Structure 1
Amino acid sequence: MMFPIEYFIGLILIGIFAGFASGLLGIGGGFIIVPLQYFLLKYIGVEPNLAMLISLGTSLAIIIPTSVSGAYRHTRSMDNILEPGIKLGIFGIFGSVLGGFSASMLSSGILEIIFGLLLLFIAVNNIVSLNKEREDARIPFNLISIGIIGFLVGFASGLLGIGGGVFLIAILTSLLGFSLIEAIGSSSVFISLTAIGGFLSYIVSGWGVSTFPYSIGYVSLINFALIVCFSVPLASIGAKYAHRVPQKKLKIIFSILVLYMGLKMLGVLP
């Protein structure tokens, strides 16, 4: 298969946008990487079902180095994010493996509706609590809450090919009493670990099945290489700006992003 020049340009643009958003907001950037890759793959004639699975698997592969770059920058500014991020991430790996395998076997239609409604709730909750610098913790940060939250967010990550940061940041700020910047930092550490589990499951489930050239399972090596070249340095720049932008502005950006994702998952937006 010959790839047209606009395909490569498209991959570079995805890397720039996804990388900056990843570092700035502590999210994996999958909400940008998955739909735009899907559009590009369909544009060059890839069958829709295969295009979707490649978009999901490659997205998680890209998220690993991108979020590590953002996490490293955050840990240089904050020393209290590494431990919660790693604890949640250990459980997240198991969830993302299960989510990744589920994506290749099940229709994610019903789960997309559930996640879409959850994202709408998160966006509304964020806007309501806009002037609160930090909410009181409603549940304790112990082994039970870490295990449940880590596993469920990890499952969503693997299933939908996203880092899971949008879910985790909202949970940490609204239920566990984290400030937004602490949640963003912890989330970038969590995503670095969780994406590994989902990425491996897409390699295994697509082994000998995927017909896309230059790919390992459902992970496209061309897409990965080109997007990562731009997303990794941009994630570091985004993380640097996250510590300069006021918390309220970050919360507004995050809420708009979550609202958009929720409406997209529910099929309200194209």
Structure 2
Amino acid sequence: MQLALAMIAESMLIYILVLLLTGMVVGFACGMLGVGGGFIMVPVQIWALTSMGVDPTLSTRVAFGTSLAVILPTSLCGCHGHICQGVVLWRQGVTLGLSGLVGALLGGTIAAHAPGELLRMIFGLVILAGALRMIFARELRRSRPQVVEGLVPYVLWGVAIGLISGLAGIGGGVILVPAMVIAMGFTMYQAVGTSTVAIAFNAMGGTISYAINGWGVAGLPAHCVGYIDLLQFILLAGASMLTAHWGANVTHKISEQKLKRVFVALMIIIGLKMMGLFNWIGF
């Protein structure tokens, strides 16, 4: 009996430490790269939940919903650091965010009724698509054409990326940052900074959707509000908020091209992992 209790305590300690470490990495990534960090959190959360015996489909939905809940406070902390650097374009960021909130509500509702395997495949494809777009985009320069004017492009991009955000359990920064640089005339620094504003709205819409659609579902882990795991939220958000501002400061100390390479490498690794390629080749 004592041995069993000791094993449970050890497993719980590992669980807590892994989530805290993940939260710290997520906060740093959010501040440095202008992404919510969902592409880092989701695989870890799915592993943690399935290792505790939660159904894989429910684990995926809970991971998506909780990831979006964590992204909200994390992105706001990262945003503060970028405001201090003067690279946040508020009108564009809020327009992208409000329209993204609508898309995220819809995306979260669709995901709440989709099988886990399909959701993980969508997640991987979204991440890889963003990485490939960054790789094959024309060279990012510090001096770029004027930022696109008018609200319509921002509304259309916001809704589309918000929908992806809700479907894939991510803030949408992995797609939004390349889109802002390539299609909207932002510098990399402006895109990263302004993205933290937009993804906060995306995260809010997705969180609401997952909480509502998961309400009363059988088989969820303890401490859940719909598909939002409050224990994971506290551990991840608490750790990520500590490191988000640090990441934002680091962004402005490295070159755009180095920032781009870090961004793309993370996206490719996580995307392939979630699509199951590493399992297929034996890793």
Fold agreement, TM-score > 0.5: yes
Q: Contact between 2:131 and 2:264, CA under 8 Å: does it hold in 1?
A: no
Deviation of 1:135 (Å):
4.5
Match in the other structure for 1:223: 232
Distance in 1, matches of 2:43 and 2:272, equals 14
Deviation by residue 1:68-110 (Cα, 9 ceiling, x = unmatched): 0001111121164222111110100000000101101134457
Please state if 1:263 is matched with 2:276. Answer: no
Moved more, 115-124 or 69-78: 115-124
Match in the other structure for 1:72: 80
Distance in 2, matches of 1:267 and 1:133, equals 37
Match in the other structure for 2:169: 161
Deviation by residue 1:98-145 (Cα, 9 ceiling, x = unmatched): 01011011344574575355224313224x525x334446x9442221
**Residues 168-187 of structure 1: pairs in structure 2 closer than 5 A:** 168-187=176-195
Q: Which amino acid aligns with 1:123?
A: M
Q: Which amino acid aligns with 2:169?
A: G
Q: Contact between 1:30 and 1:162, CA under 8 Å: does it hold in 2?
A: yes
Q: Residue 121 and residue 135 in structure 1: after superposition, are their counterparts in 2 closer, same or farther (change >3 A)?
A: farther
Q: Contact between 1:122 and 1:258, CA under 8 Å: does it hold in 2?
A: no
Match in the other structure for 2:27: 19
Match in the other structure for 2:108: 100
Count of residue pairs the alignment pairs up: 266
Question: Out of 228, 240, 252, which is 2:249 matched to?
Answer: 240
Distance in 2, matches of 1:77 and 1:68, equals 15
Distance in 2, matches of 1:140 and 1:12, equals 39
Question: Out of 139, 142, 159, which is 1:129 matched to?
Answer: 139
Question: Out of 37, 50, 56, which is 1:29 matched to?
Answer: 37
Match in the other structure for 1:55: 63
Q: Which amino acid aligns with 2:126?
A: F
Match in the other structure for 1:41: 49
Match in the other structure for 1:91: 99
Distance in 2, matches of 1:252 and 1:120, equals 10
Q: Contact between 1:115 and 1:265, CA under 8 Å: does it hold in 2?
A: no
Match in the other structure for 2:223: 214
Deviation of 1:255 (Å):
2.0
The share of aligned pairs that are identical, in percent, is 35
Describe the SS at the equivalent of 1:208. Answer: coil
Higher Rg? 2
Describe the SS at the equivalent of 1:88. Answer: helix
Please state if 1:9 is matched with 2:42. Answer: no
Q: Which amino acid aligns with 2:156?
A: I
What RMSD in Å do the two structures reach over aligned CA positions?
2.1
Distance in 1, matches of 2:29 and 2:211, equals 26
With the length of structure 1 as denominator, give the TM-score of the two structures: 0.91
In the alignment, structure 2 segments of 5+ residues that lack a partner are 1-7
Deviation by residue 1:176-196 (Cα, 9 ceiling, x = unmatched): 110000000010010111100
